Amino acid sequence: MVLDQVNGLPVHVLVLHAAVIFVPLLGLGAIVYGLVASWRPKIGWAVALLAVTAPIAALITKLSGTEFYDRLLSEERVSPNGKIILDGHMENGTITFWLTLALGVISLILVVLTTRNPRALPRYADLGIALVLVVLAAFSGYYLYETGDSGATAVWGTY
């Protein structure tokens, strides 16, 4: 119930903006950090901070969304078509969280491994991790968009 409401306003509508900002920033930072070794000393601290902040923002958004969803269902404020849209929204939000968590963990591992020497890893390992970061960033961004789109459809669409 902590993540349910603040002064009658659903917490979800307040905290989702943190995920909308931090998840793409983590994706962009992770891609640059993974691909441009010469920038690692300059942006490592930001990537490390985002690697922790973005998954937390995604988790809080997901948990508050679950509480909001449960409240809407208990108050019978959701039509059958609206429930279908919200179910998809919640599934996308869960996927977004897990992808963001994976992106954060891999980013943090790379930062830790390359803090003292930006080129500490063998070239094949560096390229492999960079590829994983690009893929995770792309999927995180895609699912973040899909989550937001389905949420906006649930709020503003006709169902």
Residues 57-113: tens digit of each pLDDT? 999 999 999 999 999 999 998 899 899 999 999 999 999 999 999 999 999 999 999
pLDDT of residue 20: 98
- The string of pLDDT tens digits covering residues 111-153 is 999 999 999 999 999 999 999 999 999 999 999 999 999 999 9
What's this model's pTM, rounded to 2 decimal places?
0.94
Question: Residue 13's CB: how many other CB atoms inside 10 A?
Answer: 14
Q: How confident is the model at residue 156 (pLDDT cuts 50, 70, 90)?
A: confident
pLDDT at 158: 54
